[in-house]
Amino acid sequence: MDNFNFYSPTEFVFGKDRENEAGTYVKKHGGTRVLIHYGSGSAVKSGLLDRVKKSLDDAGIYHAELGGVKPNPRDTLIYEGIELCRRENIDFILSVGGGSCIDSSKGIAAGALYDGDFWDFYSKKSFISKALPVGIILTIAAAGSEGSGSSVVTQEKTMLKRDAGSDLLRPRFSILNPELTCTLPAFQTACGAADIMAHVFERYFTNTEEVEMTDRLCEAVLLTMVKETPRIIADPNNYEARANIMWAGTVAHTGIVGVGRSTDWNSHNIEHELSGLYDCAHGAGLAVIMPCWMEYVMHHNVMRFAQVASRVWGCPMNFEKPEQTAIQGIKAFRRFLHDIGLPINFEQLGAKEEDIPQLVKNQGVGDGKTGGFVQLTSDDITEIYKLAVKASVQ
């Protein structure tokens, strides 16, 4: 196990009706002038935004608002938010939405206290040294941004998707009401599940030895997803399954399942160019890429793939040919993604084989390498995209 620091100071406020306590928690965490940041009309139409505003009003807290966050959130709205924060002397950002909204809020939070261009944090030209406090009211279990210190944003003019991170971006509180996720369409729900599982797999595939505790925590999240996801696809209003998935999504990305070990993140890297170019759902892109990445790299550590096949997918261990167990596990994962309604190849995703050179170029790996478990070249990434063209559940 490697040395590590783990610091997750977010107060998680979980359960039915908890969004009505927004005012209490903003006040507890020091907010007096709040920017409510949200996405599309659903938070408005459902009455959620009104309930949140009422809670702030009851607590006597001033609020401004900025809506319009899109999936794969854009830098353009963040510039607008930063401007608004300065004009209105905002001291707390309350994000009402899913991962895109939260990531946009984090961009605003960091940018509002920075003299330069906030994109510097995402292009790695600068590091975040201060940020406005952020609170969350989560509406979709997926990105895990409600418990993490990271943010992913797309630059509108280039459609490049880049990430920034700092413990300073960890939310002060996150209100998690599973009921708010019951109205999500099945496809979005499934995309969220793929994202949650990806956050675990990116950490599970490690070159650090002797990390049983975090392996088991990873498997705990995966086993929960395998049990609960089909239940909410079959019955979107199943509160208990929604609750387990919502908490699993948070645990998957606070960092606790990945401490003390090297991690990978190539599936995310490779997927980001898909959702960057096609504006498809991140989880859908992951469903296409992850099993292909696994097939491409599994010989780097067959026993690790056999372990997850056995412990999570219940595949019988083939002691003579462990690679058979490993392959069986990857197939089970792809079948699972397919069965919950996700695309598993380029055609189903709406991606095109002829774009592969462009996708690889956008990665920006050039003559270098990327990733923590297996270091991949541009040629390797090309091969993984090619596997994704033809992937099937057969």
Instruction: Name the site residues for a second copy (rule: CB under 8 A).
Output: 1-16, 18, 178, 209-214, 216-217, 219-221, 223-224, 227-228, 240-241, 243-244, 247-248, 251, 256, 259-260
Minimal distance, residue 36 CB to a second copy, in Å:
22
Q: How many residues does the chain have?
A: 394
Are 82 and 112 within 8 A, CB to CB? Answer: yes
Question: Which of 117/167 has CB closer to a second copy?
Answer: 167
Question: Which of 314/357 has CB closer to a second copy?
Answer: 314
Minimal distance, residue 2 CB to a second copy, in Å:
7
Minimal distance, residue 133 CB to a second copy, in Å:
14
Minimal distance, residue 3 CB to a second copy, in Å:
3
Q: How far apart are CA 329 and CA 331, in angstroms?
A: 5
Strands 92-97 and 134-138, sheet pairing? parallel
Minimal distance, residue 75 CB to a second copy, in Å:
31
Region for 38 from its dihedrals, namely left if φ exceeds 0, alpha if ψ lies in -120 to 50, beta otherwise = beta
Question: Which of 27/386 has CB closer to a second copy?
Answer: 27
DSSP bridge partners of 122 = none
Minimal distance, residue 81 CB to a second copy, in Å:
27
Question: Which of 92/247 has CB closer to a second copy?
Answer: 247
Residues 6+ apart with CB under 8 A from 290: 194, 197, 198, 201, 267, 271, 333, 337
Which tokens is 81 given? 């938010």
Specify the 3-state DSSP secondary structure of 157. Answer: coil
Q: How far apart are CA 321 and CA 58, in angstroms?
A: 64
Are 65 and 57 within 8 A, CB to CB? Answer: no
Nearest 10 degrees: Cα torsion 347, 342, 196, 74: 50
Minimal distance, residue 306 CB to a second copy, in Å:
17
Q: How far apart are CA 247 and CA 185, in angstroms?
A: 19
Question: Which of 15/366 has CB closer to a second copy?
Answer: 15
Q: How far is CA 286 from CA 56, 256, 376, in A?
A: 37, 22, 17
- CA Rg, the chain, in Å? 20
Question: Which of 37/170 has CB closer to a second copy?
Answer: 170
Q: How far is CA 341 from CA 79, 187, 229, 232, 337, in A?
A: 36, 7, 11, 12, 7
Q: How far apart are CA 285 and CA 143, in angstroms?
A: 13
Question: Which of 177/275 has CB closer to a second copy?
Answer: 177
Are 34 and 133 within 8 A, CB to CB? Answer: no
Minimal distance, residue 134 CB to a second copy, in Å:
16
Question: Which of 6/127 has CB closer to a second copy?
Answer: 6
Minimal distance, residue 146 CB to a second copy, in Å:
12
Q: How far apart are CA 308 and CA 311, in angstroms?
A: 5
Q: How far is CA 342 from CA 254, 306, 347, in A?
A: 25, 24, 12
Question: Which of 10/105 has CB closer to a second copy?
Answer: 10
Question: Which of 161/172 has CB closer to a second copy?
Answer: 172
Minimal distance, residue 211 CB to a second copy, in Å:
7
Q: In one letter, which amino acid is 87? A: R
